[in-house]
Structure 1
Amino acid sequence: MRGPLILAHDIGTSGTKSSLVRPDGTIAASESRAHATHFPRPGWAEQQPADWWDGVCRNTAALTAKHSELRSSIDAIGVSGHMLGCLPVDSTGEALRPSMIHSDCRATGPCETVRNRIGQDAMYELTGNILESRSSLCKVLWIKANEPDVYERTTRFLQSKDYIVGQLTGSYDSTDYSDASHAQWLDIRTKSYAADVFVELGIDPAKFPCLFRSTDVVGKLTQEAARALNLPTGIPVVAGGGDGSCASVGAGAVNIGDTYCCLGTTAWIAATTAEPFIDRQRRVFNVLALDGENNGVFGTVQAAGRSVDWVMGLLGETDFARFDDLLAGAQPGSEGLIFLPYLEGERSPIFDPNARGVFFGLSPVHQREHLLRATVEGVSFALRSVLEVMRESFAVPALRLIGGGGQSALWQQMLANVCGVAIQTLSTRSADATSLGAAFAAGVGVGLFDGLPQATQTIEVTEERPADASLADRYDTFFRMYQDLYPQLKPAFAQLRESLEFTL
């Protein structure tokens, strides 16, 4: 395990992973720790920043204990983290409240305020992102309106990876273009803070951190952090990036037109473009790439892997080694059972926080295997609905596949069949893409690579699964039914939300 090595920390929705990455993209060693998400009220989702840092410290300590020789081999530290958060910190970097995370959609009132004062179309045109209650901008407004003492004490509003960078370097004054653009804090064309929007909404622009490319070195490991991690002081730390943009790099999707799918707790399809992709129906959104130059167009399925985890738990299945066997126990189409994977509302292409999960078509013929297969097919239909938006503007002959769900051979083939594209698996482990992106950004920052294209040259397509044409008609039929269900249920979803709020 001789150097150089890059230490990458990935702050995920369900846990923190720390990996030692070689410049060729292989993982020398990794450690993971779970952390909790708290749901104090319907629509709320929070995490404790101390849990993220505890995971970073414990993971790194475990790595150094098992591989003591690595301590002097680490050339740089990179961090990725879940996006669309909102964490207020004071001048010392202390968190003033739990962090709202991406699935928190409490800020419906502030969202209406922005819609009325700025306009939905104007916000999308300016930021490249859909105005919704999950927006970090709306979360800032929620804090200002509901926790004014917290707002007044706030020195900086941060994303998850920014807090960890602060813990490592002692400076809580950096964010990168990927996180800031997705937060709806930026004019996506000028790549500067949307100052006019802040002024109109009464938000203090001084409460936001300095902007950097993800590859920029923003500090070095402090003595205090080095003690906590059992590492030498002075290791360079880069600004890092949002998990979606880091995953794009880890998938090797750094050139214009590269398209991939991530099957994780949240799933998405993303493509690299030279300019923001402005969809007049506002079904997809834009995030600046780690290089601060290119753009990523994304369509996100909010509760993809979460839906699969939920139904597996419901069925009493804790051994995911049985996943493919269970999936194979039902035929394509699940005997007419269709699942809408809206357990946490939905993002692309409908952007409706009121939407909820639905099994449609249940009958006595349906068994455990049908429930699982319908859930996985429902997530695949949701991803196809995203892909259809992109196909209106450019061809997508194949999708690179990353994320934990990508380890299932049957899900790979199902996704190919549902979407009608070839699914490509990569030479790197599908679950490591986000960590690789964070590591490669750090490697560029300290000169191990000339740029991200060079860093990703070792990522190769190792297998391609073409779509099974014999299943196209069947899946097309069920996909059309899937698409027809949401418009009919939309009013009922809104009524349900109102009823729940009334009874609280």
Structure 2
Amino acid sequence: MGKFLIGCDIGTSGAKAVIADEEGKVYGSCYVEYPLYSPRTGWFEHDPEDYWRVFKKNMQEILRQSKVKPSEVAGISVSACSPCCILVDRKGNPLKRSPIWMDRRAVDECEFIRNIYDDDEIFRVSANPLDPHSGAVKLLWEKNHNPDIYKETYKMLNPANFITMKLTGKFVTDYSNASLTGIVFDIVKRKWRTDMLERLEMDPDKLARLAPCHEVVGEVTKEAAAECGLCPGTLVAAGTVDCNAAWLGNGSVQPGDASFVMGTAGALGVVHREPRFTQSLTTIIHTADSENLYTTLAGTSTCGGLLRYLRDTFTQKENKWAKEEGKDIYDIFSEEAEVVAPGSDGLIVLPYLSGERTPLWNPNARGMVFGLSFSHTRGHWVRAMMEGGVYAVYHCLRIMQENHLEIKSPILVSEGGSKSALWRQIASDIMNVELSYMKEAKGAPMGNVINAGVASGIFKSFDVAKDFIHVEQIHYPDLERHAVYEKYYALYRKLYEDIKENYDILSRIKNG
């Protein structure tokens, strides 16, 4: 058996992969972007063929960089954004573009389900709320709006499971992704509720076989090996959700361990063993020891994605210039925001650009800028977006604390927006918590390396993740700044409560 392991993460904006040895040393890494489609307000889609295209490119590049022979790779694990809804035929071919986790179109389907099962019953089964976010709700939307494609569908998969299927020919859903399929997944018994599916007039056979995240579900086929450069027979783990993989890569393996991923969305996860769940938040079965552990998730709709929106919408020419000069537009953003006082001189952003998930669960919510004046500069906009993204996560953290969830300190922060030291300090100050940071953290891909290592037997347990943690910096909250932020946070919360009914009015006007 080889000593190298591959981890790949299929994200909202692109796919990244690493190849590492049993000591956690990375020999090659690669990131490739792909398009995000938004054909209508509240609709967000990927082309599943893009997942496989960039996965193959990632594999070829990391093998080239590392000079590792494909036969030396012992195992591979893939994580991805979730929940999505990839419809495939019996040969595994995608039948259409897939709605992703950001997609909010299935509002009517939620009302249909609510007329059959009330919210409390849904929560008792799945430990998650009824919302267009859920994969099963997305599948019901496809049944209602694309009935011919629904009939042709053999299985519904998430992106991680889609890549696993392309590698092995096996149709499997890991426990972690099943958690976010929601409503029809019994999260404690870890099984599909076929009775609920049938009552909702959905075909249980369209959901794939369930498996623990570290189960070896198959081997790389000769056909897949020829396409992506891997060796036939390489072991493939069931896989997991992207944020779960990132938390594992950050060393969150034991109850109380906490990790904050500042990706496109904000994802603060806390590990626990007891099946005691928090309403208004999300529960995902953890990658580490997925037969026993859970993570309670603060999963907001936007975080790092806020500055990407600013970059792509308002600074396209400057971003191009920065690249030509060898600079990073995000560093320029941070420099401008750093000279702005906490609270952005009264500029507040409600960061709900694609609705909101935890804890509001409002698909009609939209972004709002409050307090804008002629004195506000671009630096104010940047800082207000940074602060707004953290306010949303802080709202969830306070709910966790009120429910007495054990949260160990410090919380390790990684990915996306965490590359900005300013944004990390803002998060520490707003939430009044210590944050530790690894500059060289590989995030979700490294979590997949660990999952593949446990699956293939190279690692005895997930505790090896702790050995790979090398903290570069710890951020301590400033109590004076926190006191200022508490006042702005209270106004942030009040703004939403004052205008939330108007979001529904706006939706009705836009949608006729």
Q: Establish whether TM, by shorter chain, passes 0.5.
A: yes
Amino acid at match of 1:501: N
Aligned: 1:472 with 2:482: yes
Aligned to 2:405: 394
Structure 1 unmatched runs, 5+: none
Q: Percent identity?
A: 31
Residue pair 2:77, 2:451 contacting (<8 A) in 1 also = yes
Aligned: 1:294 with 2:293: yes
1:368-418: CA deviation from partner (whole Å, max 9, x where unpaired): 111111110111111111110111113544321011211111111111110
Aligned: 1:57 with 2:56: yes
Which secondary structure state, in structure 2, belongs to the residue aligned with residue 117 of structure 1? Answer: coil
Report the alpha carbon displacement of residue 176 of structure 1 after superposing the two structures with TM: 0.4
Distance 1:441 1:144 in 2: 34
Amino acid at match of 1:286: T
Aligned to 1:198: 197
- Superposition TM-score, scaled by structure 2 size: 0.94
Aligned to 2:149: 150
Distance 2:414 2:276 in 1: 23
Report the alpha carbon displacement of residue 3 of structure 1 after superposing the two structures with TM: 6.1
Aligned to 2:429: 417
Matched length? 496
Aligned to 1:131: 130
Aligned to 1:177: 175
Aligned to 1:363: 373
Amino acid at match of 2:446: L
Residue pair 2:45, 2:103 contacting (<8 A) in 1 also = yes
Aligned: 1:429 with 2:440: yes
Distance 1:109 1:253 in 2: 37
Aligned to 1:446: 456
Aligned to 1:496: 506
Aligned to 2:333: 323
Greater CA drift, 251-260 or 25-34? 25-34
Aligned to 1:354: 364
- Superposition TM-score, scaled by structure 1 size: 0.95
1:48-95: CA deviation from partner (whole Å, max 9, x where unpaired): 111010001112222333444432321111111111101111111111
Which secondary structure state, in structure 2, belongs to the residue aligned with residue 234 of structure 1? Answer: coil
Distance 2:500 2:73 in 1: 52
Report the alpha carbon displacement of residue 37 of structure 1 after superposing the two structures with TM: 1.1
Structural RMSD (CA): 1.6
Distance 1:213 1:388 in 2: 31
Choose the corresponding residue for 1:285, options 282, 289, 305: 282
Amino acid at match of 1:421: V
Amino acid at match of 2:343: G
Aligned to 2:420: 408
Structure 2 unmatched runs, 5+: 320-328
Choose the corresponding residue for 1:457, options 446, 464, 467: 467
Amino acid at match of 1:103: M
Residue pair 1:249, 1:456 contacting (<8 A) in 2 also = no
* 1:198 to 1:383, Cα distance in 2 relative to 1, 3 A: same
Greater CA drift, 115-124 or 319-328? 319-328
* 1:233-272 equivalences in 2 (<5 Å): 233-272=232-271
Distance 1:47 1:32 in 2: 17
Report the alpha carbon displacement of residue 442 of structure 1 after superposing the two structures with TM: 0.7
Report the alpha carbon displacement of residue 463 of structure 1 after superposing the two structures with TM: 2.6
Aligned to 2:92: 93
Distance 1:129 1:101 in 2: 17
* 1:184-223 equivalences in 2 (<5 Å): 184=182, 185-223=184-222
Report the alpha carbon displacement of residue 455 of structure 1 after superposing the two structures with TM: 4.0
